[in-house]
Amino acid sequence: MSNPSNFPKELSGHRALVTGGTRGIGAAVAQRLLDADAKVVVVARKADKDMPAGATFVSGDVSTSAGVQAIAKEALAALGGLDILVNNAGGARAFLEGSWTIPDEAWDDSFTLNLQAAIRLTNALLPALRESKAAAVVNISSAAASMPFGPFVHYGAAKAALEYYSRTLALELAPGIRVNVVSPGVIATPGSDEFARTTPGFSTDAWLQLLPLGRIGATEDVAEVVALLVSDRGKFLTGANYRVDGGMTAR
């Protein structure tokens, strides 16, 4: 990656909100937007040591309607408006025994966090986005949405629904607001590293067998694509899904 000091300040004056922005992919996205001179609010239930120092932290729970409304209110107060929304919060527990072992509550939780949270927050912030002259929404999906995988089928199904929602929203909101999806594959994050260390059959070496480019992705790989999509460089991009997965889903 380039030295952050060399990044163009192409987002100067832009105001951004990144959910799940205190660690992993979300923190890298927030930092990349800060490097481009955006004003950034990151949202999570609690702060983290990896949170970008230049971001404003808002504590909140995106899995409830009340939590989303509180987040929207506090973020808009801190930013004074909104130009960029990155719905990154997500995740799910693996059920290694197979899809039939996933209980109803795990399905419900996955769709609430990985789909409904993005819908609720987008709806809550839509008036502010409509006032922007350079509005862009990026929803973070996953390669799991297009690769059937029993232990994470509840997660992949929710992300597939997020992708369908995003395409529809892109058509509804054009030309004023651009909406795109970024779908990471195997990315080195604290969560994925822990999963690889502790789960039989899912070591780093096992994942590498699925990656034509021969390496695990970095969070900065995802952040760079998001930065493109929300900047003026991406002004003719909407309704698309950008797979940052080292070629994994090209097989």
Catalytic residue numbers, as ranges: 155
Query: Within a 10 A sphere around the Cβ of 233, how many other Cβ atoms?
Result: 12
Is the bond into 184 cis (omega within 30 degrees of 0)?
no
